[in-house]
Structure 1
Amino acid sequence: MVDEAEFLRSARARAGAMVARLEELVACESPPGEVSHLSACADMLAAWGEAALGRPARRVVVDGLPHLLWPATDQRVLLLGHFDTVWPHGTIRDWPFSVRGHLATGPGVCDMKAGIVQMLTALELLPRTAEVGLLLTCDEESGSPGSRALIEEQATRSGAVLVGEPSTESGELKVARKGGSAYRLVVRGRAAHAGVEPHRGVNATVEVAHQALAVQRFADGETTVTPTVLSAGTTSNVVPESGALSVDVRAWTREELHRVDDLVRALRPRLPGARLTVTGGVNRYPMPQAVATPLLRLAQDAATRMGLPAVRGTHAPGASDANFTGALGVPTLDGLGGVGGLPHARGEWVDVSRMPERTALLAALIGRLLADGVPAVVSARSAVTD
């Protein structure tokens, strides 16, 4: 086995370089759907990845968006991440990257640009990477509509998938995730003069409000059903003739996702003359704990042997691309990125003092999987059913 203590020493020696690289990556803004900015970020990462892996990236363009793939011929491990963020272009001007003490902030620093820096550095520490694949997508924050097939294809040809999404604030890895659904409810009413003859109209705003209240009642226990974006109307003196509502659903089981799906599709208009159209559905099935448990144990043992803080696993209510790979039954461990918090919030942060230890942990985990293979592959895959 490779000397794992050397991973930690080498990662600590690269601490300053990792922070400098993180600053450069955060400054290269990558807002969702903006091809020019995503392409510029992809160019930067393609060069970094080629240097780390010793082979060039395949740029896989889907719907105009550039995803980066470094496939391995005999792909025993796949590192998975995304370089898009939720932040619009220009955010960096009034919220630039900064480090105070050991905490770095900036748009995308936690979710998940620190994770990308750690993954690339871990690859640089390994004596061999010929059997390691790397996939960096650019539409995860939009639901991975274009990259899902690519993710699933690469996962099924891999022994294990290690995901560079952030850990929890206390450093816990993510061993299970809720699944998620997304819906858009579109209402058609009838316009009329709001002051002269509102009775001649069918008010889409009122209808959308009825639907927002209705979907909330579908929540049950830890299953959340949340109305989010709402729009209706054009001007203040016209009865709105159209409206729309977005709905976010999260649940721990497939059965719960399908229960809510049936209820959403059974919705009917409340106002006479209104029409309702429902689009969307289940986006990601849950990531079951069974696919992560054998990998978590390897990570825990590696951390102990390197003298790192104890590594624990947790269930995460949010979804990631690990849901896709885990739902296939491929052994998957998530949360191997930066130790940080407030993802998707202004002020998101990452603890740069912990970047070397997490980089060394990832390198050690990859090294063990290459040396010894993936434990309990069959039992992990058989734990997932349709």
Structure 2
Amino acid sequence: MLADLEELVRCESFSADHAAVARSAEVVAALGTRLLEAAPETIVIDGVTHLRWTFGRPRVLLLGHHDTVWPLGSLRSHPWSVENGVARGPGVLDMKAGLVQLFHALASLPSRSGVCVLVTGDEEVGSPTSRRLVEEAARRCAAAFVLEASADARGAVKIARKGTSRYEVVVHGRAAHAGGEPHKGINASVEAAHQVLAVAGIAATMADADAPDPVLGAATVTPTLLTSGSTRNTVPARASLWIDARVPTAAAQRRVDELVRGLTPVTPGARLEILGGAQRPPMQPDASADLFALAARVAEDLGQHPLRGAPAGGASDGNYTAATGCPTLDGLGAVGTGAHADTEHVDITQLIPRTRLLAELTTRTLNSP
């Protein structure tokens, strides 16, 4: 398993680099073909490469992704290493170790009939080309197991996830010479500053208006990336403000959308353009309840530590599978911490136990009425 993991990590697969993702797909396909004794369908949509294995009539969906947030060249600063029971490298936790566990779990089964494996290439950027594939597969299955990393260093699985919405507020002003005729300009930077404060007001409104969800907590609305201007001596004609929203319920997601789209300019003559909107819907706890209970029994039967469940503020393709009505359990992948960060790592002592858990969980789900 470590040799397979090293091969995947050494093949960098930054989401924005479609050529790198295509090379990664070849490596993942070769690994899956060797272990599952079957080649996948290679599906390329808008330049992004996805892989799918289908064994008979699908009842269980095993879902993962092979793209990462790490730009090409990250191996130089974050090289592959295994030391003191810890594996490191770009994407090792999110989620190349989960893919290794997936393939080895299926390879251990006497029959894979009823399983669909979908490995996408754009999850880290919101699954714009793979969402349809994910939802179509989920609608045909009785359960979806998502091989994202565990919720914490103790291996908790993810029983709920917040939904996500992303917006870009484009401020249209008017350029003018900053020294000669500043009064003739409409300063997009000034207007953007007003909008940052307005978005902070939306966050406060959501916190005050709604009681926190008992599992997922309150909605968050955060101004993030801000850009403006063209040169140092020009009144800015354009600015752009990005907003990241995380919501516990569909109602909260709709309310955030109303408030963001209701933003109005303060600076005379400025104009706002609101782009984006809801992305992933929330994954509610009831989507995972029965599967989590089954997984907990499986862990106990295997003599493993009691399985814990925890909510997650981040989103995954599990949000999409749950929204189709397919029961979904997320976070069944590698145990570790530091995803997307310099500290990203995997506890290699948990690779085999997690693989056994997935194998038995898949078997029992396939054999259930």
Shorter chain as denominator, the TM-score bin is over 0.9
Q: CA deviation at 1:70?
A: 0.9
SS at structure 2 position matched to 1:36: helix
Aligned to 1:184: 168
Q: CA deviation at 1:207?
A: 1.1
Aligned to 2:4: 21
- The one-letter code sitting in structure 1 at the alignment partner of 2:24 is C
Q: 1:230 aligns with which of 219, 226, 233?
A: 226
1:148 maps to 2:144: no
Tell me the number of residue pairs that the alignment of Structure 1 and Structure 2 aligns.
356
- Contact kept, 8 Å, 2:219 with 2:252, in 1: the verdict is yes
Aligned to 1:57: 40
Aligned to 2:179: 195
- Contact kept, 8 Å, 1:33 with 1:65, in 2: the verdict is no
- Contact kept, 8 Å, 2:4 with 2:31, in 1: the verdict is no
Aligned to 2:317: 321
Aligned to 1:292: 288
- Contact kept, 8 Å, 1:106 with 1:347, in 2: the verdict is no
1:163 maps to 2:159: no
Q: 1:242 aligns with which of 238, 243, 247?
A: 238
Distance of 1:52 and 1:217 partners within structure 2: 53
Per-residue CA shift, 1:154-213, capped at 9, x if unaligned? Answer: 000111100000002221000110011011111111111122222221111111121111
Q: 1:276 aligns with which of 265, 272, 278?
A: 272
Distance of 2:140 and 2:30 partners within structure 1: 25
Question: 1:361-376 maps to which residues of 2 (within 5 A)?
Answer: 361-373=357-369
Q: 2:356 aligns with which of 338, 357, 360?
A: 360
Worse-matched range after superposition: 83-92 or 94-103: 94-103
Aligned to 1:207: 191
SS at structure 2 position matched to 1:260: helix
1:72 maps to 2:55: yes
Per-residue CA shift, 1:254-310, capped at 9, x if unaligned? Answer: 000000100111111111111110011110111111121111111111111111111
SS at structure 2 position matched to 1:217: helix
Q: CA deviation at 1:104?
A: 1.6
Q: 2:254 aligns with which of 255, 258, 268?
A: 258
- Contact kept, 8 Å, 2:223 with 2:242, in 1: the verdict is yes
- Contact kept, 8 Å, 2:8 with 2:96, in 1: the verdict is yes
Distance of 1:267 and 1:87 partners within structure 2: 34
Distance of 1:217 and 1:137 partners within structure 2: 37
Q: CA deviation at 1:142?
A: 0.7
- The one-letter code sitting in structure 2 at the alignment partner of 1:72 is F
Worse-matched range after superposition: 95-104 or 245-254: 95-104
TM-score by length of 1: 0.90
Q: 2:106 aligns with which of 123, 127, 139?
A: 123
TM-score by length of 2: 0.94
Distance of 1:45 and 1:130 partners within structure 2: 21
Aligned to 1:98: 81
Q: CA deviation at 1:48?
A: 1.4
Distance of 1:129 and 1:218 partners within structure 2: 49
| Percent identity (aligned) | 50
Distance of 2:87 and 2:180 partners within structure 1: 57
- Contact kept, 8 Å, 1:85 with 1:108, in 2: the verdict is yes
Distance of 1:190 and 1:206 partners within structure 2: 12
RMSD: 1.1
- The one-letter code sitting in structure 2 at the alignment partner of 1:144 is S
- Contact kept, 8 Å, 2:61 with 2:144, in 1: the verdict is yes
SS at structure 2 position matched to 1:218: helix
- The one-letter code sitting in structure 1 at the alignment partner of 2:270 is A
Q: 1:342 aligns with which of 338, 342, 348?
A: 338
